[in-house]
Each structure stands twice: as structure tokens, then as C-alpha cells.
């Protein structure tokens, strides 16, 4: 349907009958593998392109259509399972982009002969469709989709699937349909278990879920997750009152009933199904779900749009393979198979030596990916990666692309082992390989240029006029070895540098003087402690108030800071010990080591006492406009906030007494939503959290701008 429009990915071109027969065989094999053990030689995108190529060829050569062709068949004709479905489990037709969606809706409304006024819009989950049969409230049988007419009995999995209760709230007989999948955490756990068992990992969460659901006698158990998306009378001809209601109620109300039975639905996620009245609102929700995708802890591959009313569904009916009253709006792929061409090893500013995968360029979630993270040498060994391997690569939204696993059955024998460096790739000194993350024995000194460049950056000390070539010049001249040395530079030393005039010298000295007064949060951030970026630095500074207090803290005390777990806390403590001399040098230079608003300067306390005021407790910024509030800033800032970086807006929140946070929850007090705010705004609205425009917010904190 509606193929060949501009937003559709290109189809595989098939030249002749031989190529057509090969393409059909390839698609049938891929489909059988996919619905069999969850592996496939083709990723989703490649499979879609292939099938559309086959369709195009068949349209031009109707006399050559092979009976085994995957076109027009559910699950590409893969035959698995022998449990007949009560009602066929059909797949959905796809649309790519808003134009095709509008065309689909228009043709549906022509067929119905009236406009659709109730649309249900929900995330399309990237898992396996299953049917769950309950008798008198007890889960008695679980069946995969199979070929849509009959599936495989996987009842042995009952009891390992979160969200699919063994008993419903009421003793009803009903068939539920939904998706079985693995969350990010479940996938990591499953990979670790399989690794421990046979040294291999799963390629991705979906194949892990497929394999887990269908395997009967694995020596280890992996947890799965279920989200329900439909309920049917059982048996189909049942004439009980419940069956009647399931036939007559709108889809949205059936899903409320399903959730009320204790079954998990997407209502508990940021991509909950919503009911809207027109196509414009459908499009808005499609955008919101697409924007929320990268932040989800489970995979979605599109958005399902369906008529909510039972009467509309009945009037629209079915084609041979799909309902006419629903469609899948496909989102760009977030995972594809590509080639691992090379592995580069780089030393970062803290001396950590990290491998990076160089890939055959591949388009993922709307951008071309050429590099992906490989974490560390141990991780490469664990995954058994080799150069030349076909690998699954994942990327969504702003996350750093990552290589998930090699596709072992695509190996040709030409793969080679990955070279592991024996010395630091930056300075040639030895590697400290005692930790999983390798490090140059010279530590931060190895890439002093990078640490200094980071420290003087806009979100840290914000020292203008210190470009990277200037820093290099100072390092070469032996004037500095770290960023604390900058504060000891004299006017004469600077003037002696090439291309350094009086004006730039004075400007730099003034900028250095201003930098000494930066709040502790920025000074701490400038240290570049591993695992602490801008927001973590602000939290640490707000928690402890002074550098003395931070340095005095042990791992248990550091762990009191939100977001620092038992793994990170000892790293922070060890890093601070390593940075001892640097911090002392900063203190001696007169750099500020307190966080304003947390611990007030002694002069203020003296004034308070003189005035006979009780004063607030240290650490309690009272009387500030955002006191006690948790604030989330999202979207593009406008008005008085337009010139501020996200870090600066968060600092503003904290100056005004609030706590800057990144995730919206019921505890959030206020969401500042700029242009293109997306899912955080939606979530705030659904939770009833107050939402302000950047302009309204600027008015609230005007005194602190
Ligand atoms: Zn080095």
C-alpha cells in the first residue's frame, strides 16, 4: 500500500526472474530464522526493502509469482506452531511519514463514508506478539503469533513474564493479546547469564526475547516483560456479558479494563496510548512518542494508529492480511547490521584508553553512524568481536552509538582478531591494565592539553581567550603543566609568548581573575573527575557546600549525593586523592572553593548576628523563589533565557534555591518547557506537574538572571 513515496526507504531492485527467485528464497530464509530462533541474516530495514522489491517485481510480472513468495503473508509465510488462533493474529500495514498517514486516513474515511472522530494512538512495541488465554481468571495458555493462523504453545514461559499475571483481578474467561519483550535491564541480565553459560551473547533485546520465550529447557531463566494491547471474547462466539462488552466498547475503554485486571499496559510508560479526535492531534502524539523513544528502557519501532470505536472497526473490516482500521507508522531503524572495519584506541583527558569501532557507514535513527563505542578491552573479548565481523549497532536519539554483538552466523572466515595495544597510544608509556578500564600510567599528565582545554571551557571556568593552540604554546614553553598553573602566570611570562600583545595579555589576566570567583560547582567540574559531568558537579557542590567537605568525604558520604552509586563513589574518592596537589595549588592561587547559597560567607553571618536575626540553617536556602522545588528544563530556550546554555539555566535554577533535575516524575515541581519540548512536557501534563514557558520562568527568577 502507498509504496514508492518519497519517505519510503528505497526498495531492493530485482532485474530478472533468476534474481526474483533468489530474492524470494532469501526473504523466506530470513523470515524463518527470524520467527524461528530470533536470528536473521537481514536486519528489519533490509528485509522491508527486499520484500518491497519482490512486490514491485511481482506487480510487473504477475505470471511469474512464486507460491513461496513472502508477499501478502503474515510473518512472511514462516510456518511455526500448531495451536490455531481463535481469531487470526494479523500484522498491520505500514505507513512511512505524515503524508502516507494522511493518505491512509483519507482512504479509510472514504470507505466509512464519515470522518473518524476517535483515534487511538499508541507505541508499537518491538517484541513478539503473543496471545494469552485466561479461564476463570487463570492464565492457562500462551501462544506465539506464528503465521497468524496458528502459533506455538509457549505456556512453559508462564511465570517468568513481568506484567502478565497468572491470575486476573476477576475470575473472567478472556483472551489477551500483547507483546513480549525485554527491557534494557532484562537484556543485560540475559546476556550476562548466557555469557556465563556458553560464552556467547544475544544480538539484541528482541532476539533475546524470542529465544527465551521459545526455549524450553535452558539451564538459566531470563525474565521477560509483557505489555497488553487488546482483549477478545473467549471463545470468539461467547455470549457472556463480558464478551458483549469486549465487542462493543471502544478500544481505549477495553485497555482500561485490561489494566484494571492487573495486566501491564503502556499506560504506565511515557508512551501511553492516548485518545484524540483528529488527525492533527494524531500527528502531534506521533511526534511525542518518536521524541520519547530514545529515553525508553524498552524498544519501540513505530506507532499504531487505530479507530477507537468498535462500530468504525466493524465497518472498516479486514483485508486478506491486515485490519483496515489500523496502521503502523514506522519509525526509522535504531538497530542495523553493518561491518566492523577497524578499532581505534584513544587516550582521553583523564588518561583512560578507550577503543572505538570504525564502521561501514550505516543510517540509524535519521543520521549516518561511522563510529560506535566499544567500552574497553575486556568488553571486546566478552563479545568475541573480530575485525571484518558483521555487527549489530544501536543508536537512538542523542545516545552514543554502540556495537551490541557480532552476527556470528554471517562470518566468512576472513575475520581477523582485533589488535590490542601494548603501550599508551598517545605517549607510548605503559598501560595500567589492573582495572577493566585501561589507563595510561601517566594519568591526566598524558593528555594535559585535553584536561586544560576542558577546565577552561564555557561550562567550567569559562576563561575566554584560551584557545587550544594557546594552551599548547604555554605547555611547550613549560609555563604550565595543569590548569591550576594558569593562575600563577605573570604578565611578563605572557608577553614573552609569540603573538601575545598587551591587550590580549591583560584580557587573559582579567579573565583568569574572574574565573577565580566561579562557584564551587564549576571549579569542581573543571577538575574533570571521572564520572562527574556538569549536573553531577552541581549536585556534589550543592550537597557539600565546600571543597574541604568534599575532600573529607569517604565513599559512603559521597554516595549520599543523588545519582552516585556504590560503583562510582570509590572512583570519585580515589580521583580526588589523585587530584590533591592540583586542588591545593588552586586554593593557594585564591580560587573560590565554596558554593554560593549553600554555605553563606562568614561576613553575612556576622551581619545577621549583629541584626539579631535567627537566620536559616546552613544548607537551607530560605526565602528564594524556587526554595524546595525540583525543576526540569527542556526544549529550546527563548526570550531572556535564549543566550544561556542548558548548564547555565540549571545553574540559574539552583541560584534561585531550586534543584535542577533531568527526569520528570510526580516529585517534579515545575517543568520549564521551551520550543520542541516533546516527551518531558507531555509527561508533566499527564502527571499534572506545572509547566512554564521560558519567558514565564525568567520572570519568576528575574532577580537571579
Ligand atoms: Zn599516555
Q: Determine the distance separating the centroid of ligand 1 and the alpha carbon of 352, expressed in angstroms.
A: 9
| 8 in a structural domain | no
| 675 in a structural domain | yes
Q: Are residues 648 and 684 in the same domain?
A: yes
| 86 in a structural domain | no
| 2 in a structural domain | no
Confidence band (pLDDT; 50, 70, 90) for 574? very high
Question: Residue 667 catalytic?
Answer: no
| 37 in a structural domain | yes
Question: Mean pLDDT over residues 223-242, rounded?
Answer: 93
Q: Determine the distance separating the centroid of ligand 1 and the alpha carbon of 529, expressed in angstroms.
A: 18
Question: What is the length of the chain?
Answer: 705
Question: What is the DSSP code string of 349-393?
Answer: TTSBEEEEEEEEEEEETTEEEEEEE---HHHHHHHT--BT-EEEE
Q: Determine the distance separating the centroid of ligand 1 and the alpha carbon of 443, expressed in angstroms.
A: 7
Judge contact between 264 and 183, C-beta under 8 A.
Answer: no
Catalytic residue among 124, 568, 659, 683: 124
CATH of the domain at 69: 1.10.287
- pLDDT tens digits, one per residue of 624-658: 888 888 899 998 898 889 888 888 898 888 888 88
Q: Are residues 56 and 201 in the same domain?
A: no
Nearest one of 119, 19, 123, 93 to 61, comparing CA atoms: 19
Question: Mean pLDDT over residues 56-82, rounded?
Answer: 74
Confidence band (pLDDT; 50, 70, 90) for 109? very high
CATH of the domain at 310: 3.30.470.30
pLDDT at 75 over 70: no
Last residue of a domain, one of 402, 432, 462: 432
C-alpha cell at 460: 567550567
Q: Are residues 320 and 185 in the same domain?
A: yes
pTM over 0.75: no
Q: Are residues 549 and 635 in the same domain?
A: no
| Three-class DSSP labels, 257-279 | HHHHCCCCCHHHCCCCCEEECCH
b/e sequence 669-689, b meaning 16+ C-beta within 10 Å: ebbbbbeebbbbbbbbeeeeb
Q: Are residues 655 and 590 in the same domain?
A: no
Q: Are residues 700 and 559 in the same domain?
A: no
| 4 in a structural domain | no
Last residue of a domain, one of 481, 496, 515: 515
Q: Determine the distance separating the centroid of ligand 1 and the alpha carbon of 353, expressed in angstroms.
A: 8
| 88 in a structural domain | no
Range from 198-212, 225-239, 643-657 carrying the lowest mean pLDDT: 198-212
Q: Determine the distance separating the centroid of ligand 1 and the alpha carbon of 537, expressed in angstroms.
A: 26
Question: Mean pLDDT over residues 679-693, rounded?
Answer: 84
pLDDT at 114: 95
CATH of the domain at 382: 2.40.50.140
pLDDT at 619: 44
98 vs 704, residue with greater confidence:
98
pLDDT at 326: 96
Q: Are residues 289 and 171 in the same domain?
A: yes
457 vs 33, residue with greater confidence:
457
For residue 235, say if its preceding peptide bond is cis, omega within 30 degrees of 0: yes
Q: Determine the distance separating the centroid of ligand 1 and the alpha carbon of 424, expressed in angstroms.
A: 5
- pLDDT tens digits, one per residue of 496-523: 999 999 999 999 999 999 999 999 999 9
pLDDT at 399: 74
Last residue of a domain, one of 399, 432, 465: 432
Question: Mean pLDDT over residues 188-199, rounded?
Answer: 84
CATH of the domain at 676: 3.40.50.10190
pLDDT at 13 over 50: yes
Q: Determine the distance separating the centroid of ligand 1 and the alpha carbon of 428, expressed in angstroms.
A: 6
Confidence band (pLDDT; 50, 70, 90) for 620? very low
Q: Determine the distance separating the centroid of ligand 1 and the alpha carbon of 624, expressed in angstroms.
A: 47
- Print the domain residue range for 196: 94-330
39 vs 181, residue with greater confidence:
181
Instruction: Classify 167 as helix, strand or coil.
Output: strand
pLDDT at 383: 82
Q: Determine the distance separating the centroid of ligand 1 and the alpha carbon of 417, expressed in angstroms.
A: 24
Q: Are residues 71 and 135 in the same domain?
A: no
Distance CA 327, CA 95 (A): 7
Of all helices (H) and strands (E), which one includes residue 119?
Answer: strand 119-125
Question: Mean pLDDT over residues 76-102, rounded?
Answer: 83
Q: Taking each helix axis from N to C terminus, what angle separates 448-455 and 468-476, rounded to the nearest 10 degrees?
A: 130
Find which of 49-63, 382-396, 471-485, 641-655 is predicted with most confidence, using mean pLDDT.
Answer: 471-485
Summary mean pLDDT of the chain: 87
Confidence band (pLDDT; 50, 70, 90) for 1? very low
Q: Are residues 116 and 260 in the same domain?
A: yes
Cα dihedral 433, 437, 440, 444 sign? negative
Q: Determine the distance separating the centroid of ligand 1 and the alpha carbon of 683, expressed in angstroms.
A: 46
pLDDT at 378: 87
Question: Mean pLDDT over residues 147-161, rounded?
Answer: 90
Largest CA distance in the chain: 99
pLDDT at 189 over 50: yes
Q: Determine the distance separating the centroid of ligand 1 and the alpha carbon of 432, expressed in angstroms.
A: 10
- pLDDT tens digits, one per residue of 427-468: 999 999 998 889 999 999 999 999 999 999 999 999 988 999
Judge contact between 343 and 314, C-beta under 8 A.
Answer: no
Distance CA 204, CA 335 (A): 9
Q: Are residues 261 and 318 in the same domain?
A: yes
Q: Determine the distance separating the centroid of ligand 1 and the alpha carbon of 447, expressed in angstroms.
A: 7
pLDDT at 174: 95
pLDDT at 470 over 50: yes
| Three-class DSSP labels, 556-619 | HHHCCCCCCCCCHHHHHHHHHHHCHHHHHHHHHCCCCCECCCCCCCHHHHHHHHHCCCCCCCCC
- pLDDT tens digits, one per residue of 588-597: 999 999 998 7
Q: Are residues 199 and 51 in the same domain?
A: no
CATH of the domain at 593: 1.10.150.20
As for how many domains the chain has, the answer is 6
Question: What is the DSSP code string of 624-643?
Answer: -TTTT-EEEEESB--GGGTT
| 85 in a structural domain | no
Q: Are residues 339 and 322 in the same domain?
A: no
Amino acid at each position: 500500500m502507498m509504496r514508492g513515496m518519497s519517505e519510503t526507504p528505497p526498495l531492493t531492485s530485482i532485474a530478472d526472474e533468476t534474481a526474483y527467485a533468489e530474492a524470494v528464497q532469501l526473504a523466506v530464509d530470513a523470515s524463518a530464522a527470524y520467527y524461528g530462533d530470533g536470528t536473521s541474516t537481514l536486519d528489519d530495514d533490509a528485509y522491508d526493502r527486499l520484500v518491497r522489491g519482490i512486490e514491485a517485481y511481482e506487480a510487473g510480472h504477475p505470471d511469474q509469482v512464486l507460491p513461496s513468495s513472502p508477499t501478502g503473508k503474515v510473518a512472511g509465510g514462516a510456518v511455526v506452531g500448531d495451536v490455531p488462533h481463535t481469531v487470526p493474529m494479523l500484522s498491520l500495514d505500514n505507513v512511512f511519514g505524515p503524508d502516507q498517514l494522511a493518505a491512509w486516513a483519507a482512504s479509510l474515511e472514504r470507505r466509512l463514508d464519515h470522518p473518524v472522530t476517535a483515534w487511538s494512538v499508541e507505541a508499537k512495541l518491538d517484541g513478539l506478539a503473543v496471545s494469552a488465554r485466561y479461564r476463570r481468571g487463570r492464565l492457562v495458555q500462551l501462544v506465539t503469533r506464528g503465521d497468524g493462523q496458528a502459533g506455538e504453545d509457549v505456556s512453559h514461559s508462564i511465570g517468568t513474564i513481568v506484567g502478565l499475571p497468572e491470575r486476573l483481578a476477576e475470575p473472567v474467561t478472556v483472551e489477551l493479546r500483547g507483546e513480549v519483550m525485554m527491557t534494557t535491564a532484562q537484556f543485560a541480565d540475559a546476556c550476562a547469564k548466557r555469557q556465563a553459560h556458553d560464552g556467547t551473547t544475544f544480538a539484541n533485546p528482541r532476539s533475546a526475547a524470542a529465544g527465551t520465550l521459545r526455549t524450553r529447557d535452558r539451564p538459566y531463566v531470563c525474565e521477560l516483560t509483557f505489555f497488553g494491547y487488546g482483549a477478545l471474547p473467549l471463545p470468539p462466539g461467547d455470549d457472556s456479558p463480558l464478551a458483549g462488552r469486549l465487542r462493543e466498547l471502544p478500544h481505549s475503554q477495553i485497555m482500561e479494563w485490561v489494566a484494571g485486571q492487573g495486566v501491564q499496559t503502556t499506560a504506565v510508560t511515557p508512551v501511553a496510548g492516548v485518545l484524540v479526535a483528529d488527525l492533527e492531534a494524531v500527528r502531534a502524539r506521533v511526534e511525542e512518542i518518536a521524541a520519547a523513544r530514545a529515553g525508553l528502557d524498552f524498544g519501540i519501532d513505530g506507532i499504531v494508529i487505530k479507530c477507537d470505536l468498535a462500530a468504525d472497526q466493524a465497518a472498516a473490516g479486514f483485508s486478506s492480511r491486515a485490519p483496515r482500521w489500523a496502521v503502523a507508522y514506522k519509525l526509522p531503524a535504531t538497530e542495523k547490521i553493518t561491518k566492523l572495519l577497524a578499532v581505534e584506541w584513544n587516550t582521553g583527558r583523564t588518561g583512560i584508553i578507550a577503543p572505538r569501532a570504525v564502521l561501514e557507514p550505516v543510517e540509524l535513527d535519521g543520521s549516518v553512524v561511522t563510529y560506535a563505542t566499544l567500552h574497553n578491552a575486556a568488553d571486546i573479548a566478552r563479545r568475541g568481536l573480530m575485525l571484518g565481523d558483521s555487527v549489530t549497532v544501536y543508536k537512538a536519539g542523542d545516545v552514543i552509538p554502540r556495537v551490541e554483538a557480532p552476527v556470528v552466523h554471517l562470518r566468512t572466515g576472513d575475520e581477523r582478531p582485533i589488535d590490542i595495544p601494548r603501550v599508551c597510544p598517545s605517549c607510548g608509556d605503559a598501560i595500567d591494565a589492573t582495572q577493566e578500564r585501561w589507563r595510561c600510567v601517566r594519568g591526566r599528565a598524558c593528555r594535559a592539553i585535553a584536561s586544560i582545554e576542558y577546565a577552561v571551557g564555557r561550562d567550567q571556568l569559562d576563561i575566554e581567550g584560551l584557545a587550544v593552540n594557546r594552551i599548547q604554546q604555554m605547555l611547550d614553553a613549560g609555563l604550565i603543566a595543569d590548569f591550576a598553573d594558569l593562575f600563577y602566570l605573570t604578565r611578563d611570562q605572557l608577553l614573552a609568548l609569540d603573538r601575545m600583545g598587551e591587550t590580549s595579555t591583560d584580557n587573559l589576566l582579567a579573565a583568569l581573575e574572574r574565573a577565580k570567583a566561579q562557584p564551587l560547582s564549576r571549579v569542581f567540574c573543571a577538575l574533570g573527575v571521572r564520572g562527574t559531568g556538569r549536573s553531577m558537579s552541581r549536585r556534589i557542590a550543592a550537597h557539600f557546600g565546600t571543597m574541604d567537605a568534599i575532600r573529607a568525604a569517604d565513599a559512603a558520604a559521597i554516595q549520599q549525593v543523588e545519582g552516585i552509586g556504590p560503583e562510582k563513589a570509590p572512583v570519585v574518592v580515589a580521583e580526588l586523592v589523585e587530584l590533591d596537589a592540583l586542588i591545593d595549588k588552586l586554593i593557594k592561587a585564591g580560587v573560590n572553593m565554596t558554593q554560593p547559597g549553600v554555605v553563606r560567607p562568614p561576613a553575612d553571618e556576622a551581619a545577621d548576628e549583629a541584626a539579631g536575626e535567627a537566620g536559616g540553617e546552613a544548607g537551607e536556602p530560605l526565602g528564594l523563589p524556587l526554595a524546595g522545588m525540583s525543576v526540569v528544563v527542556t526544549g529550546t530556550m527563548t526570550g531572556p533565557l535564549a543566550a544561556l546554555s542548558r548548564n547555565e539555566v540549571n545553574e540559574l535554577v539552583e541560584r534561585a534555591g531550586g534543584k535542577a533535575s533531568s527526569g520528570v516524575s510526580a516529585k517534579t515541581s515545575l517543568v520549564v518547557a521551551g520550543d520542541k519540548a516533546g516527551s518531558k512536557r507531555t509527561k508533566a501534563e499527564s502527571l499534572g506537574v506545572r509547566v512554564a514557558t521560558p519567558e514565564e520562568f525568567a520572570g519568576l527568577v528575574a532577580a537571579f538572571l
